[in-house]
């Protein structure tokens, strides 16, 4: 026959490709390689040559033993390893990144727990597979690995014995092993440790295989779970394994029009996409290799019609027989209509399947019509098939519950944020409706970042959360809203630190007052207004200026992302009183002021709110003053003479004595204070009654020294005191 152009209809499995564990492992090792050090994986991270090549190009290399790892980082792949391997790696000083799949780690834990109680562990799986080897290392010396019912039958078993299964094994094969195990050891414990994601992939592959002419499984020849998928599909339809689009051959599709495609858990999405695109292009050319035997000629036309009709009837009957679903199968269907008590689903059989209301999980007040829309594609489990009247009864909730468990386990492993409705509040937390008949519990400590005494306000609301623990065996699902809030705060912090610029003026809300300043919320992050930045006036405590809850404008002074520190200023957005002071005051002018504080080196005198000047101790009186408190007291109003104004430094030098005039003799109080310690000087007794020339020279030298001290140009001691004074003025 002539060559024909194959036009293929491709049905792609929705769950084909990387599983969550593999995807997380790849992301983890690539992140580690970006730190600039070589990363080694103990065995291929993924059983896929193209992925291995990609990782090698990014500094991630596979080694077969711990000794071969010459770099500082060793990655344990998703299959896990025995505890002895971990100890060896750490003893060599390697940094170990453990990417063991959470589901595999659970099998390891079960094996270790069983061995610790003295039970013998039997593992069903491929003895050459690294996952099985690792589990055996946790199971103790008496562990046994079986890959078939025949091997299990040869074992001498007695209680206590535990049966575990490789996470990627076939569900059907495990069911047979489980039955045989319980026959041999009626009191034995069986743990179904099959990976839910693998189960979904297998169920989906079976459903697709039943509806197509040929199956293509994309994956490496070294991938165990891909091999299992191939075996499952081959039981139903001709099946071919390809590593990539280049392995596709025209003879795969001889006489084929509808082809199904699935892939192993180690197959990257891009490889699957290339395979599908290659088939959908329709550029395969093949010959119809089926030879049609010549039938004996029938002369009677009526006979010809009868033979043809009979052949058609046989063909139709054969096709119908192939399409009959079997009880326990998961099949895809299309919703035809939703009645009050049942849903009619087209599953490709001669009659529509019935989905009873009691086989559907409905929320409170939800109807079947609310949940299902005509034309919607759903997956159901076949409960029963009546061959006589062709009636098929299916269940939605059984598969829905399995899928929901898988979704929650994946969310737990990947840290995905989900949403759920609070159906009940209890003193210790909240109970969530997670759908598909599952409930989750959120402890009170996981509800919020702060303590919440009563959770009634959450009842009936939809809340975002993360799954922190997911245990099917104990039917335990623990949730956390706190982790979601922490992530939101972290994102807001990152955004604020990225966009906030020093010098900008922003709004904030006062959250807390302390002795040293005020903390202001500027969009989820608290910035600090130091007490010195609250006002141009001197402030004893922030509560004099602000109260909690005030919304204010502040200026950003400094942003330090690595320390998560933001410095703010309130006074910087207010008029600077020094600007007016410079215009108002002149050197030599006599003005009034209020003594605000006394220091060892002088007195601070407020001339206007927010504007202070310093009267050096040498400018307080015409006699020797040991401390400003001898002549002044805080709160006192005095007249002062402005000696010098420094606008840039925001300093004003003042003189009390020049404003008061020259006093001929020291006050009695000063004399008493000077004499009280028994040390009396001539200057204390006679003031400036010395020789006029000498006294004048001494006064001039003293004034010059004092003025130089105010400017910071005198002795080391004066420099220290004036530095302190300057800081106090600022």
Q: Which pLDDT belongs to residue 282? A: 64
Structure tokens at 519: 């903390």
Whole-number pLDDT of residue 350 = 59
CA 618 – CA 611 distance, rounded (Å): 21
Q: What is the DSSP letter of 293?
A: P
Contact (CB, 8 A) for 646 and 585: no
pLDDT digits (tens, 9 = 90+) for 664-696: 334 333 333 433 343 333 334 333 433 433 333
Write the class of the CATH domain 502-573: mainly beta
pLDDT band with cut points at 50, 70 and 90 for residue 430: very high
Per-residue pLDDT band for 642 (boundaries 50, 70, 90) equals: very high
What is the CB-side half-sphere exposure of residue 339 using CA atoms within 13 A? 8
DSSP for 442-505, please give it.
EEGGGT-SS--S--GGGTT-EEEEEEEEEETTTTEEEEESHHHHHHHHHHHHHHHHHH--TT-E
103-194: CATH, from 3.30.300.130, 3.60.21.10, 3.40.50.300, 3.40.1010.20? 3.40.1010.20
The pTM of the full predicted model, rounded to 2 decimals, is 0.39
pLDDT digits (tens, 9 = 90+) for 247-305: 888 888 888 888 999 998 888 877 888 888 888 876 654 443 333 334 444 455 665 56
14-to-29, 50, 261, 268 alpha-carbon distances in Å: 26, 22, 10, 14
pLDDT at residue 28, as a whole number:
79
pLDDT band at 317 (very low <50, low <70, confident <90, very high): very low
Q: 3-state DSSP call for residue 318?
A: helix
Q: Which residues contact 330 (CB under 8 A, 6 or more apart)?
A: 203, 204, 206, 207, 379, 380, 381, 382, 399
CATH number of 20-101: 3.40.50.11270
Percent of the chain scored above 90 by pLDDT? 32
For the domain made up of 4-16+197-286, the CATH class stated in words is: alpha beta
**Residue labelled with tokens 């075996």:** 231
Of the two residues 636 and 693, the one the predictor is more confident about is 636
The residue ranges of DSSP E strands in 570-659, in sequence order, are 590-599, 602-608, 611-616, 637-646, 651-655
Q: Which CATH number fits domain 421-486: 2.40.50.140, 3.30.420.40, 2.60.120.380, 3.40.630.20?
A: 2.40.50.140
Does position 552 have pLDDT exceeding 90, yes or no?
Answer: yes
> pLDDT averaged over the chain?
80
User: What pLDDT does residue 300 have?
Assistant: 57
* Residue 338: both structure tokens together: 């939703």
Average pLDDT over residues 158-172: 87
Q: Encode pLDDT of 173-228 as tens digits.
A: 888 999 999 988 888 889 988 876 777 788 888 999 999 999 999 988 888 888 88
Fold: same for 330-395 and 577-729: yes
Q: Where are the domains of the chain?
A: 4-16+197-286, 20-101, 103-194, 330-395, 421-486, 502-573, 577-729
In sequence order, which residues have a C-beta less than 8 Å from that of residue 718 and are 6 or more positions away? 705, 708, 709
Task: Judge contact between 118 and 98, C-beta under 8 A.
Answer: no
**Superfamily of domain 330-395 in the CATH hierarchy:** Nucleic acid-binding proteins (2.40.50.140)
Active site residues: 131
- Who has greater pLDDT, 525 or 429? 429
Q: 100 near 137, Cβ under 8 Å?
A: no
- Say if residues 77 and 45 touch (Cβ distance below 8 Å): yes
In angstroms, how far is CA 185 from the centroid of its own chain? Answer: 45
Class of domain 577-729: mainly beta
How many C-alpha atoms does 137 have within 13 Å on its Cβ side?
Answer: 17
Across-strand partners of 216?
240, 261
- Going across the sheet that includes 258-263, the strands are 9-12, 258-263, 214-218, 239-242
- Per-residue pLDDT at 40 exceeds 60: yes
């Amino acid at each position: 026959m002539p060559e024909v152009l194959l036009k293929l209809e491709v049905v792609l499995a929705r769950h084909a490709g990387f599983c969550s564990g593999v995807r997380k492992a790849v992301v983890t090792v690539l992140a580690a390689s970006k730190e600039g050090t070589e990363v080694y994986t103990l065995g291929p991270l993924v059983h896929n040559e193209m992925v291995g090549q990609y990782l090698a190009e990014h500094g991630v290399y596979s080694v077969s033993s711990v000794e071969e790892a010459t770099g500082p980082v060793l990655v344990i792949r998703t299959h896990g390893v025995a505890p002895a391997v971990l100890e060896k790696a750490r003893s060599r000083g390697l940094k170990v990144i453990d990417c063991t799949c959470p589901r595999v780690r659970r099998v390891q834990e079960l094996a270790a727990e069983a061995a610790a109680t003295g039970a013998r562990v039997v593992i069903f799986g491929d003895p050459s597979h690294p996952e099985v080897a690792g589990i055996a290392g946790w199971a103790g010396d008496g562990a046994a690995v079986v890959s078939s019912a025949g091997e299990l039958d040869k074992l001498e078993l007695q209680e206590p014995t535990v049966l575990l299964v490789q996470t990627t094994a076939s569900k059907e094969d495990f069911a047979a092993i489980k039955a045989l195990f319980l026959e041999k050891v009626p009191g034995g414990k069986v743990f179904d440790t099959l990976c839910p994601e693998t189960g979904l992939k297998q169920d989906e592959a079976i459903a697709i295989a039943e509806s197509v002419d040929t199956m293509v499984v994309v994956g490496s020849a070294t991938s165990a779970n891909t091999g299992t998928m191939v075996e499952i599909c081959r039981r139903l339809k001709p099946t071919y394994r390809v590593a990539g689009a280049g392995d596709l051959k025209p003879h795969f599709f001889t006489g084929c029009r509808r082809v199904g495609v699935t892939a192993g858990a180690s197959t990257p999405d891009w490889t699957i996409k290339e395979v599908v695109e290659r088939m959908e292009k329709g550029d395969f050319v093949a010959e119809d290799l089926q030879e049609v035997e010549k039938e004996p000629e029938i002369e009677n036309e009526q006979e010809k019609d009868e033979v043809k009709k009979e052949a058609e009837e046989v063909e139709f009957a054969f096709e119908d027989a192939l399409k009959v679903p079997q009880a326990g199968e998961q099949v895809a269907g299309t919703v035809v209509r939703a009645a009050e008590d049942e849903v009619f689903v087209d599953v490709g059989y001669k009659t529509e399947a019935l989905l009873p209301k009691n086989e559907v999980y409905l929320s409170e007040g939800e109807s079947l019509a609310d949940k299902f829309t005509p034309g919607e594609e759903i997956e159901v489990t076949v409960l029963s098939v009546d061959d006589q009247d062709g009636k098929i009864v299916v269940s939605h909730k059984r598969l829905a519950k399995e899928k929901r468990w898988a979704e929650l386990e994946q969310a737990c492993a990947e840290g995905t944020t989900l949403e759920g409705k609070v159906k009940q509040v209890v003193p210790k937390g909240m109970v969530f409706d997670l759908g598909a008949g599952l409930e989750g519990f959120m402890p009170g400590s996981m509800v919020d970042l702060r303590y919440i005494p009563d959770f009634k306000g959450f009842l009936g609301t939809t809340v975002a959360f993360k799954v922190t623990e997911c245990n099917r065996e104990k039917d335990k699902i623990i949730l956390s809203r706190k982790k979601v809030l922490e992530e939101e705060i972290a994102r807001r912090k990152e955004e604020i630190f990225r966009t906030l610029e020093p010098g900008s003026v922003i709004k904030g809300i006062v959250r807390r007052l302390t002795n040293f300043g005020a903390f202001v919320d500027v969009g989820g992050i608290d910035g600090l207004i130091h007490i010195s930045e609250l006002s141009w006036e001197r402030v004893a405590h922030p509560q004099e200026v602000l109260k909690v809850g005030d919304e204010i404008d502040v200026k950003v002074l400094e942003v330090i992302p690595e320390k998560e520190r933001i410095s703010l200023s309130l006074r910087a957005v207010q008029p600077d009183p020094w600007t007016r002071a410079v215009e108002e005051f002149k050197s030599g002018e006599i003005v009034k002021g209020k003594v605000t504080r006394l220091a060892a080196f002088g007195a601070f005198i407020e001339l206007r709110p927010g504007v202070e000047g310093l009267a050096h101790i040498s400018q307080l009186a015409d006699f020797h003053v040991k401390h400003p408190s001898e002549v002044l007291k805080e709160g006192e109003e005095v007249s002062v003479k402005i000696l010098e104004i420094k606008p840039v430094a925001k300093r004003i030098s003042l003189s009390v004595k020049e404003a008061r005039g020259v006093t001929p003799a020291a006050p009695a109080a000063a004399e008493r204070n000077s004499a009280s310690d028994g040390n009396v000087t001539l200057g204390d007794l006679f003031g400036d009654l010395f020789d006029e020339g000498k006294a004048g020279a001494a006064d001039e030298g003293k004034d010059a020294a004092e003025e130089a001290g105010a400017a910071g140009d005198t002795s080391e001691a004066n420099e220290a005191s004036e530095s302190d004074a300057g800081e106090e003025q600022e």
